Chain A
């Protein structure tokens, strides 16, 4: 009997020992699956770190309901630029300048801005910390990531005013999630800081195919725009000059401006299909009403029927007794094509410099730049006798006719020049409010992050 007990106890002991010694902890540890890569590992090699930065581009180019959709159409219809012909009540709120803070499109816009910002933050933090990347790759990738972060913050601050400014990576995700809004001046300061650093880091050549990845000129072009918005006209002029005089870009005929190999393009956001987001939204089948079309007022503002932009960038059709003016800058609306999203182009740089020069009372300089854009459109130059105010007004008009349907330019122009009340107040007297220039901070976000305050005019 006793021996049996002994054996039993031994067996139990052996088994117990096996359990503890074999350290089952090891057994259930698993690394990243073969189809994914761990956070730290992603920044170990040049190629992998590059794929992280490519991911930022990819995520911002998502075709449907992505960032590009949100900054193309909604600010467009908020201003007098684009007309919405659909029936979605949420989108109609934009075209009435009567947004509710519960509007789901505003909430999505917010999210679509911060998603690539998060990716950029992760990339900047991971690349900075990595000790295994080659110096040139590190500089290139950091430059691109900072440029992208600045690009998205530019839209955030212009659409919403003061916005939270998370700059840390995912390890601080909850800290990021709890941040209050940062005054817009500080957001701009960060944008300028990122762009200045990116400008120093990036070469003037483009990496990869087409002009899909930011180079030094793309950074400079965005910086010119940022300075203009900041009313820092000297710097705006200086930056725009760098781009214009680089000799890299030229103004092709309007019908060629948006095609992939157009020499006007400073930065294009690529995708897999070659069909751009504006093309997808503006181009419609012959017998159907375009969801988004050019506002009648803008079409009627073409000063001449010989304006090549009217001929090449618009078309009209009559459906159900109503005329719709389509925006045809991009020709392809579905399937596959050769048009990526042209985010920065040379004409804007001329217009930036024209405005900066006019503001600095360099009217002849302003006329030269304005005429460069008009010449390409087949128009005569502006009068040489314009006053400063007239010149600024001419610049505003030219921006409207050149940049219509693109990335909310008109909405931001009216806002930054304090012309929104006059122009949109007249257009929509019943629903326009001075506070409409900023979109509301989404309710859903304020519910989760109670530190977020609301913009004036919303509750």
Chain B
């Protein structure tokens, strides 16, 4: 059996952790409840299946066994072999009992057990097919006659009774009881008093409830603690627990999400999950967050995970190809560079996010599982009294750090020196900054443009409740976040969600519905003005008349700020799930889902924001997207006991359709700036594009799972997929995986010999998944509309079709060990993975004489992603009022192109090298500075005397390891969480737009540059004139390792402190729970590189590889600090 009560014997071991002798009480409690812990542990797991199991009574089942001076353990084993029952008992309780003998004969299990256990002081209870063997209960203490007796029931989060929950009364050191196998318990309440009942149970969150004599019955649901082995994890088409999972799944719960003041739930995942790399494109509200799970699997196709919200795929948002997790499909956006569809999902609605990583977990998603699957589960109602909760918070955002730039005097000195170096004399054309503009007053452009404080206000109100049959949850939230840009810019989001669950009286029929509507309004500058950070500090912004100043070669950032972008997104996610239990163990379910996303954007380019010298006219671009997605998924679930184990099967089919239409219309020659919001006022109207894309998808899938006594688990999945993206020849494909796990800690030889090991599991998985994130219609010969010819409509071939195109295939291998020590106070997971992705869909060169220069085809190129993920969770201190928990995750990654036939003939021959990462970069090697003239020097690697492209070497842009470190402390009502994230990588360390000495400010790195008097510097000199030796030497500078290097960082990603007001205080004001909190996000960054605002940001279209750098400055993820209150009634 899987667990024995070493806890009682291992009392001394706790000393190791205990902070003081005050914890004795706790230990005593632990000892007391230890007798039930074993029962509890297993039963809670079984709760999931309890309703489906066909239980037979111990009186009905006959066994014929003979015992001859055998131990109780051996007797129990014999019964197990001959009956469907499984026994739960504590090794130390049965270990030293006298051997028993009974003659051979057919008896009922009950009779047999009565014989065996007679006189041992042990008793037994049947729960389903489990028989719990435990010591006879101790008689209750005497009760006061005046007391009211409260009977209650404790359940798990889905309503199944939870036996063995420790029940104590706050402040009463004597009283202690536990729930029975039906979850029932009773407590005496002294007359006229209010007492607080504390429910605690290993692996579940401790709950306190205040009751008084008027309370006549109480039903309490405990929720598993995140990270505990009992935590229910959502997987493809079902759930499992961390303990029994054969696959590799990373999870985050509502608790962790809500402690972070983020607008986009994906931003809350950063650094918290092993193997998952998150990069924010920028810190502007509404911007896109990119998620990469276990590396980049595709050379050129989509690399985004499959997102599933409550069973409904939430992906292929824009109909663009390859799909991006960006609603702005076709390059029209505001300063944020894109709108994340996840901005539509209120983080407060989310119950948990589970990320499926390996083949075992993802193969059930077939051709869409290669990049991993992100399952978002929203909150459901809880039965009981209607609960009203409100959460209000307010705070501010700001840019956490700025680039140290040269001040005006240093800048002017640099410029003058540059002209001296060139032997040139500055004049009004070449140097207005030295000759025309003010030499004393300057502007700090970073502070001016992005140095403002934004404000965040967030209001959430929810209503939940219901009874055993019907439960509801309704949450409405409003969030307004203003930006850091100068001027009015904000993001406002309103969301509402209703989740409704119903089960029939006999529990056979169940239905759940959910609807989520959100409306998001973004007003931003049309472009990110943080790229103006390096304007000459004395560049005038206004002329003497107070009008915008326009200097040759400069765009006035104040004018840029006048170009406004508005984006309005409306999103509806509706979902219905109906299930019916046809027979015990056999359940039919159907999931219906519908999502509709509409994005309406206007980019205004008013006359007043443009340089009057170029005869500007007001214009505006209207870009809309309407994406609809529906899915129907009938499934059939079957589970039964088989051969002493538990067998589960699932078959299902899936029909899905996506339609997305987008258009962009350009209105020009407006007569008035005030009318830019309407197309009808435009002088001329041009349709830029109008795309309508359909995608259809169908699959059949099956999953078999067998769990033999929670020791041996095997899980097999199969999926046959059809996708409209592929030609008739390869439209359908098969995917599958096998996962297996061995919980060796449930073996007696481990239990008996390694007492400190409370949990041990080895698991392995192998299988194939696919990637269908490719353009639609690649296989069809099509004509596209093109520019009309002299008023006649015209069409041209869209490309060379490929009838045989098929998905990219990823073979995933996963090996892992999960360990728990000291009753799981320490849990550790080490996970090795190796993904090999082949059939890469790439654009391949074809001789131009065919009329095409490229052809999209599957290439037998193979990309390998391998890595090691380590997770360590520890409960460092548990004392009466104080606890400290830590968790650490660390991921090592390695990406490599292992095969690419005929690479030299392909388009990408310069982009990839077999044996190297696909995110490679070819820099020149910077050698330093020629002391004679201040020019940068590069290594002539081929020794031919000239520096040309063959002198570049191969460098890997990427992240060799990353991770996060979380600590949570609680003391009485206080909770403190401190989370660090770290990322080691090679990336951009300097953004050099123009060489030093040109009409651009530089950062303070250049203070130590080469000058005629500082010839030993390793930083090249300055030049104001194109064509000088120094200027020419800068041509290769940004392609050299002078600007690439160690871009590692450590971030204090989030800190939260909350104080839960004592129940006693709240009772009088009818508040059941209240807390005040302060939360901070992106608080501080320690980075090797101070010349990039934030190395975390990844601009789409920038250097390859997620989070490897930036191509221009963008607003970094913002430091956010909010204060708030949370209360429920």
Binding site for B on A (CB under 8 A): 4, 7-8, 11-12, 15, 18-19, 24-25, 27-30, 32-39, 42, 47-48, 50-52, 54-55, 57-59, 61, 107, 110-111, 114-115, 117-119, 121-122, 163-164, 166, 170-171, 173-174, 176-179, 208-210, 212-213, 270-272, 442, 444-445, 447-449, 452
Binding site for A on B (CB under 8 A): 582-584, 586, 588, 636, 638, 651, 653, 655, 690-698, 700, 722-724, 728, 731-732, 776-777, 780-798, 800-801, 845-853, 855, 904-905
Q: In the complex, what distance in Å separates the CA atom of A119 from the CA atom of B789?
A: 15
Q: Are B783 and A57 in contact (CB under 8 A)?
A: no
Which residue from B696, B783, B789 sits with its C-beta under 8 Å from A27? B696
Asked whether A119 and B849 contact (CB < 8 A) given A4-B583, A30-B724, A35-B691, the answer is no
What's the minimum C-beta distance from A205 to chain B, rounded to whole angstroms?
Answer: 15
Give 24 CB contacts A-B under 8 Å: A15-B653, A28-B698, A30-B695, A36-B783, A36-B785, A37-B782, A39-B780, A39-B781, A39-B783, A47-B793, A51-B783, A51-B793, A52-B783, A55-B794, A61-B789, A110-B848, A111-B853, A114-B850, A118-B851, A170-B797, A173-B852, A173-B855, A177-B846, A448-B847
Q: Are B722 and A28 in contact (CB under 8 A)?
A: yes
Task: From A18, A32, A166, name the one whose CB has the most chain B CB atoms within 10 angstroms.
Answer: A32
Q: Are A210 and B722 in contact (CB under 8 A)?
A: no
Asked whether A39 and B782 contact (CB < 8 A) given A8-B586, A11-B586, A449-B847, the answer is yes
Q: Which residues of B contact A59 (CB under 8 A)?
A: 786, 796
Q: Which residues of A contact B796 (CB under 8 A)?
A: 55, 58-59, 119
Which residue from A47, A114, A270, A448 sits with its C-beta under 8 Å from B789? A270
What's the minimum C-beta distance from B368 to chain A, rounded to whole angstroms?
Answer: 14
Which residue from A12, A33, A115, A212 sits with its C-beta under 8 Å from B776? A33
What's the minimum C-beta distance from B330 to chain A, rounded to whole angstroms?
Answer: 13
- In the A-B complex, the 8 residue pairs with the smallest Cβ-Cβ separation, listed nearest first, are A118-B851, A54-B794, A39-B781, A449-B847, A177-B850, A54-B789, A55-B796, A177-B847
Q: Which residues of B contact A55 (CB under 8 A)?
A: 783, 786, 789, 794-796
Q: Are A166 and B793 in contact (CB under 8 A)?
A: no
Task: From B695, B723, B776, B780, name the one whose CB has the most chain A CB atoms within 10 angstroms.
Answer: B780
Q: Which residues of A contact B845 (CB under 8 A)?
A: 444, 448
Q: In the complex, what distance in Å separates the CA atom of A213 from the CA atom of B798?
A: 23
Q: Which residues of A contact B847 (CB under 8 A)?
A: 177-178, 445, 448-449, 452
What's the minimum C-beta distance from B84 to chain A, rounded to whole angstroms?
Answer: 13
Known: A12-B636, A33-B693. 12 other contacts (CB 8 A): A8-B583, A15-B636, A18-B653, A28-B723, A30-B695, A36-B785, A39-B781, A118-B850, A166-B849, A170-B851, A208-B792, A212-B789
Q: Which residues of B contact A178 (CB under 8 A)?
A: 847
Q: Which residues of A contact B800 (CB under 8 A)?
A: 170, 173
Q: Are B582 and A11 in contact (CB under 8 A)?
A: yes
Q: Are B792 and A121 in contact (CB under 8 A)?
A: no
Q: In the complex, what distance in Å separates the CA atom of A24 from the CA atom of B732?
A: 10
Q: Which residues of A contact B583 (CB under 8 A)?
A: 4, 7-8
Q: In the complex, what distance in Å separates the CA atom of A48 from the CA atom of B782?
A: 13
Q: In the complex, what distance in Å separates the CA atom of A178 from the CA atom of B849?
A: 8
Q: In the complex, what distance in Å separates the CA atom of A121 from the CA atom of B796?
A: 12
Q: Are A25 and B848 in contact (CB under 8 A)?
A: no
Q: Which residues of B contact A19 (CB under 8 A)?
A: 653, 700
Q: Which residues of B contact A52 (CB under 8 A)?
A: 783, 795
Which residue from A35, A57, A114, A164 sits with its C-beta under 8 Å from B794? A57
What's the minimum C-beta distance from B731 to chain A, rounded to whole angstroms?
Answer: 6
Q: Which residues of A contact B651 (CB under 8 A)?
A: 12, 15
Main secondary structure of the interface of B (DSSP, over half): strand
Task: From A47, A119, A171, name the one whose CB has the most chain B CB atoms within 10 angstroms.
Answer: A119
Q: Are A176 and B789 in contact (CB under 8 A)?
A: no
Q: Which residues of B contact A445 (CB under 8 A)?
A: 847-849
Q: Which residues of B contact A117 (CB under 8 A)?
A: 851
What's the minimum C-beta distance from A101 to chain B, rounded to whole angstroms?
Answer: 14
Q: Are A11 and B851 in contact (CB under 8 A)?
A: no
Q: Are A173 and B849 in contact (CB under 8 A)?
A: no
Q: Are B846 and A448 in contact (CB under 8 A)?
A: yes
Task: From A32, A115, A442, A448, name the one whose CB has the most chain B CB atoms within 10 angstroms.
Answer: A448
Q: In the complex, what distance in Å separates the CA atom of A33 from the CA atom of B794?
A: 17
What's the minimum C-beta distance from B428 to chain A, rounded to whole angstroms?
Answer: 15
Q: Are A176 and B786 in contact (CB under 8 A)?
A: no
Asked whether A174 and B777 contact (CB < 8 A) given A208-B790, A270-B790, the answer is no
Which residue from A27, A36, A47, A272 sits with its C-beta under 8 Å from B655? A27
Q: Are A25 and B790 in contact (CB under 8 A)?
A: no
Q: Are B780 and A58 in contact (CB under 8 A)?
A: no
Q: Which residues of A contact B691 (CB under 8 A)?
A: 35
Q: Which residues of B contact A15 (CB under 8 A)?
A: 636, 651, 653
Q: Are B783 and A176 in contact (CB under 8 A)?
A: no
What is the chain A residue whose CB lies nearest that of B776? Answer: A33
Q: Are B791 and A51 in contact (CB under 8 A)?
A: no
Q: Which residues of A contact B731 (CB under 8 A)?
A: 25, 28
Q: Which residues of A contact B697 (CB under 8 A)?
A: 28
Q: Are B852 and A58 in contact (CB under 8 A)?
A: no
Q: In the complex, what distance in Å separates the CA atom of A114 from the CA atom of B731?
A: 32
Q: Which residues of A contact B790 (CB under 8 A)?
A: 57, 208-210, 212-213, 270
Which residue from A35, A119, A447 sits with its C-beta under 8 Å from B851? A119
Task: From A117, A171, A177, A270, name the one whose CB has the most chain B CB atoms within 10 angstroms.
Answer: A177
Asked whether A177 and B849 contact (CB < 8 A) given A24-B700, A28-B731, A30-B696, the answer is yes
What's the minimum C-beta distance from A81 to chain B, rounded to whole angstroms?
Answer: 27
Q: Are A27 and B787 in contact (CB under 8 A)?
A: no
Q: In the complex, what distance in Å separates the CA atom of A122 from the CA atom of B289?
A: 44
Q: Which residues of B contact A42 (CB under 8 A)?
A: 783, 795
Q: Which residues of B contact A111 (CB under 8 A)?
A: 848, 853
Q: In the complex, what distance in Å separates the CA atom of A442 from the CA atom of B845?
A: 14
Q: Are B850 and A37 in contact (CB under 8 A)?
A: no
Q: In the complex, what distance in Å separates the CA atom of A19 from the CA atom of B722?
A: 13
Q: In the complex, what distance in Å separates the CA atom of A121 from the CA atom of B690?
A: 28
Task: From B776, B777, B784, B848, name the one whose CB has the most chain A CB atoms within 10 angstroms.
Answer: B848
Q: Are B849 and A179 in contact (CB under 8 A)?
A: yes
Q: Are B783 and A107 in contact (CB under 8 A)?
A: no
Q: In the complex, what distance in Å separates the CA atom of A11 from the CA atom of B636?
A: 9
Q: Are A24 and B722 in contact (CB under 8 A)?
A: yes
Q: Are B777 and A33 in contact (CB under 8 A)?
A: yes
What is the chain B residue whose CB lies nearest that of A209? Answer: B790
What's the minimum C-beta distance from A25 to chain B, rounded to whole angstroms?
Answer: 7
Q: Are A58 and B692 in contact (CB under 8 A)?
A: no
Q: Which residues of B contact A115 (CB under 8 A)?
A: 851
Q: Which residues of B contact A212 (CB under 8 A)?
A: 789-790
What's the minimum C-beta distance from A118 to chain B, rounded to whole angstroms?
Answer: 2
What's the minimum C-beta distance from A442 to chain B, rounded to whole angstroms?
Answer: 8
Q: In the complex, what distance in Å separates the CA atom of A363 from the CA atom of B162?
A: 114
Which residue from B776, B777, B851 sits with its C-beta under 8 Å from A173? B851
Q: Are A34 and B692 in contact (CB under 8 A)?
A: yes
Q: In the complex, what distance in Å separates the CA atom of A109 from the CA atom of B391?
A: 65
Q: Which residues of B contact A110 (CB under 8 A)?
A: 848-849
What is the chain A residue whose CB lies nearest that of B800? Answer: A173
Q: Which residues of A contact B696 (CB under 8 A)?
A: 27-30
Q: Are A8 and B853 in contact (CB under 8 A)?
A: no
Q: Which residues of A contact B695 (CB under 8 A)?
A: 30
Q: Which residues of A contact B853 (CB under 8 A)?
A: 111
What's the minimum C-beta distance from B661 to chain A, rounded to whole angstroms?
Answer: 8
Q: Which residues of A contact B722 (CB under 8 A)?
A: 24-25, 27-28
Q: Are A38 and B780 in contact (CB under 8 A)?
A: yes
What is the chain A residue whose CB lies nearest that of B635? Answer: A15
Q: Are A107 and B848 in contact (CB under 8 A)?
A: yes
Asked whether A118 and B794 contact (CB < 8 A) given A7-B583, A15-B636, the answer is no
Q: Which residues of A contact B636 (CB under 8 A)?
A: 11-12, 15
Q: In the complex, what distance in Å separates the CA atom of A51 from the CA atom of B791?
A: 11
Asked whether A449 and B692 contact (CB < 8 A) given A19-B700, A209-B790, the answer is no
Q: In the complex, what distance in Å separates the CA atom of A431 from the CA atom of B782?
A: 47
Q: Are B791 and A33 in contact (CB under 8 A)?
A: no
Q: Which residues of B contact A11 (CB under 8 A)?
A: 582, 586, 588, 636
